[in-house]
Structure 1
Amino acid sequence: MQSNAIPESVRYPAGKGAWAVLWLCIAMTASCSRPPELRVLRGHTMGTTYTVRLGQTPDGTDMASLARDIDRELAEIVSVMSSYSPESAVSRFNRLQTTDWVEVPRSLEQLVEHAQTISRLTDGAFDITVAPLVNAWGFGPKPDRTEPPAPDTIAHALARVDFRLLRTRTDPPALQKTSPQVQIDLSAIAKGFAVDRIARLLLDRGVQDFLIEIGGELRSHGSHKDGTPWTVGIETPDSSGATIQRILTLDAATAIATSGDYRNFFEFNGHHYSHIIDPRTGWPAETALASVTVIADDCATADALATALSVLGPEQGLRLAQGNKVTALFAVRNGSGFTEQQTGGFERWLSR
């Protein structure tokens, strides 16, 4: 298998995805000393890009072999999780009009169960059965929209959305729809899951020092080659992507995900329609929240919670985060600028 990953030492521009976390020491050289020399792999996956930065590696590490393993792992995840691939396990499950148990790959059952846990925690603000609404609004595999769908189209899609209509079974791994028209979309958790899988791959191969990024979702472990911690920045939530809002020092293993409404959207009659759909109403979330960054032990959790808090907005989202000890930073629109709100645990990661 030929690898799509090639060594690279500079960051390239982001595409359509919501890139809200940047490599700080590359993006802001005035604020950082020159980083130690890194071994870097990059490539394409899930309609976006990935970068794997390595600090100290075990003697004899074969970078070409490691790159192939990473690409192989990501390709396997896409073959299971993608809504854009018609032959993926998710797409096949979505096409089935049945309430019978459907056997699926164990990784899919496990991720769906994890997603259901987040749905219960957020009372449906995160919901992977949102697929009919994502498609109706043109933010899924179907062509992009330039105007909102008709109200009856939204109502029809909304009637098929409810995480409680989906069940999981562990042995053998299977999913069940209690309504045959249920469909799932894992785009708000799959990139985080992929980051976690690549982290596990690296650790299994003895690599302890790495910083992984897929479409803006991050996971760190260890440090730079010289022992200095990984340092990243959170992008200011505007479409220019030109400035850094906050600098984070990752001096312990952690995962980070950011969700924002300022990159993937369309405007119609002067109104902004974001890709962040509220699965409870059927409409794009409309709050003063521009972006939210979540820090967690694993990236799938951070990814899903960032989406949920974006749906809930700054007031409800902050209450949920504080009540459940979620480490989060909220950027809230305030006239022409932004104000910050954060939970108690976030201060620990901010660079001094």
Structure 2
Amino acid sequence: MQIKNTNFYNIIGFILFMFFLIGCNAEKEILLSGVTMDTSYHIKLITRGFVDTEDIKEKIDESLEKINESMSIYRMGSEISRFNALDSIGEKFYISDDFMTVLCMAEKIYELSNGSLDCTIKPLVQVWRFEGDRKIKSLPSEKKIEKLLSQIGFSHVLISRDGYLKKKKKSITLDMASIAKGYAVDQVSALIKSLNIKNFLVEIGGEVYASGVRIDGKEWKVGINRPEKKGSFDQIYKVVSLKNRALATSGDYRNYFEYNGKTYSHILDPQTGYPVTNNIVSVSIMADSCALADGFATAVMVLGHCKGIELINSIKSTECLIIVKDKNGGLIDYYSNGFL
């Protein structure tokens, strides 16, 4: 009788152990979130077996902190702040690989878009008061804008592939805000891939990279917000499927100011020094790199929908959706050749 009981318990134990193994090997979705770059991040990981989520989050936060230490204009000791503070022409300023990578991407977009993305327009951003208090009492004068235009221009930054920068004008300052968030998405995505996690979604401040598939085996679905002023974040205009692709959106419906009954976009045209007036309310770019998607989204906001579509159609593996508001307040969609 004793032997039979032992066999019975051994069988039960084996069955429970098998259920345990199956449970450990089942796919599960892990959610991670945090704050960075004056915004939030949200990450979904599809994994099997034991995953040290605390260790992964620590690695992610370290990666994001490294980028902030390099490119945050709000940190006095960051690389970009120290470069901006240089008061000399021709002095070599050595930079990190992260900073160099982002600058080279920005330079590429600057050239392809005929200067529509220019990371030296910080003085214009400040005079239009898109930093801090947006309660503007008067518009900058034409004379002031002309003076500032003479002090900016990405061509006045020498980027050496030997790892350093030089100012060609003392007044030149850099602000990588239009591309840094997308780069952060790319870096976090690369980190997650290095941990042998193939299916995941990374979102930082609305910029997204989707790898593989969801837990149900289907492609990731990402919503594009309805471009309405004071609209809620859960108002979805379009839903797109993503697999091993990035999506970045730029728009004027959340960041703007009003003066004498007129609304001014926070997107500035580097050629004129003034906010854009082309009636584009949203641009979404799909690409292999979120940094490039981020930068091109801003560039197309400046170019307008005709030149914007032409530009994106000329770039391999890059697509766009441009939403324009007509004179009656209706929304018109313009797509690149392969967006849908």
Query: TM-score interval w.r.t. the shorter chain?
Result: 0.7 to 0.9
- 1:51 and 2:42 equivalent? yes
Contact conserved, 1:137 with 1:145, CA < 8 A, in 2?
Answer: no
After TM superposition, the structure 1 = structure 2 runs for residues 127-138 of structure 1, keeping only pairs within 5 Å, are 127-138=118-129
Determine the structure 1 residue equivalent to 2:105: 114
**Secondary structure class of the residue paired with 2:313:** helix
Q: Determine which structure has the larger helix proportion and give its number.
A: 2
Q: CA RMSD in A?
A: 1.5
Deviations 1:218-242 (A, max 9, x none): 0010111232221111111112135
Corresponding residue to 2:238 among 246, 249, 253 = 246
* Number of aligned positions between the proteins: 308
- 1:339 and 2:329 equivalent? no
In structure 2, the gaps of 5 or more residues are 1-26
Contact conserved, 1:223 with 1:229, CA < 8 A, in 2?
Answer: yes
Corresponding residue to 1:295 among 276, 283, 286 = 286
For residues 315 and 271 of structure 1, the distance between their equivalents in structure 2, rounded to whole angstroms, comes to 25
- 1:208 and 2:198 equivalent? yes
- 1:272 and 2:263 equivalent? yes
For residues 313 and 49 of structure 1, the distance between their equivalents in structure 2, rounded to whole angstroms, comes to 29
Determine the structure 2 residue equivalent to 1:19: none
Contact conserved, 2:285 with 2:293, CA < 8 A, in 1?
Answer: yes
Q: Kindly tell me: are residues 127 and 244 of structure 1, through their superposed partners in 2, closer, same or farther at Cα, counting changes over 3 Å?
A: same
Q: Percent identity?
A: 36
Deviations 1:88-145 (A, max 9, x none): 11011001012212111121112111110110000100111111111221223x5445
Determine the structure 2 residue equivalent to 1:71: 61
Determine the structure 1 residue equivalent to 2:174: 184
Corresponding residue to 2:152 among 146, 161, 164 = 161
Q: Kindly tell me: are residues 143 and 95 of structure 1, through their superposed partners in 2, closer, same or farther at Cα, counting changes over 3 Å?
A: farther
**Cα shift at 1:58:** 4.8
For residues 48 and 139 of structure 2, the distance between their equivalents in structure 1, rounded to whole angstroms, comes to 53
Higher relative contact order (CA 8 A, sep 6+): 1
**Cα shift at 1:149:** 2.3
- 1:232 and 2:222 equivalent? yes
**Cα shift at 1:148:** 2.5
For residues 121 and 246 of structure 2, the distance between their equivalents in structure 1, rounded to whole angstroms, comes to 25
**Cα shift at 1:267:** 0.3
For residues 333 and 37 of structure 1, the distance between their equivalents in structure 2, rounded to whole angstroms, comes to 42
For residues 72 and 324 of structure 1, the distance between their equivalents in structure 2, rounded to whole angstroms, comes to 33
Structure number with bigger Rg: 2
For residues 274 and 37 of structure 1, the distance between their equivalents in structure 2, rounded to whole angstroms, comes to 43
Deviations 1:272-303 (A, max 9, x none): 11111111111111111110100000000000
For residues 125 and 181 of structure 1, the distance between their equivalents in structure 2, rounded to whole angstroms, comes to 20
Query: Aligned AA for 2:160?
Result: R
For residues 87 and 60 of structure 1, the distance between their equivalents in structure 2, rounded to whole angstroms, comes to 39
In structure 1, the gaps of 5 or more residues are 1-35, 348-352
For residues 122 and 154 of structure 1, the distance between their equivalents in structure 2, rounded to whole angstroms, comes to 22
Determine the structure 2 residue equivalent to 1:329: 321
**Cα shift at 1:324:** 3.2
**Secondary structure class of the residue paired with 2:304:** helix
- 1:305 and 2:296 equivalent? yes
Task: Select between 236-245 and 103-112 the one with higher mean Cα deviation.
Answer: 236-245
Determine the structure 1 residue equivalent to 2:141: 150
For residues 28 and 258 of structure 2, the distance between their equivalents in structure 1, rounded to whole angstroms, comes to 43
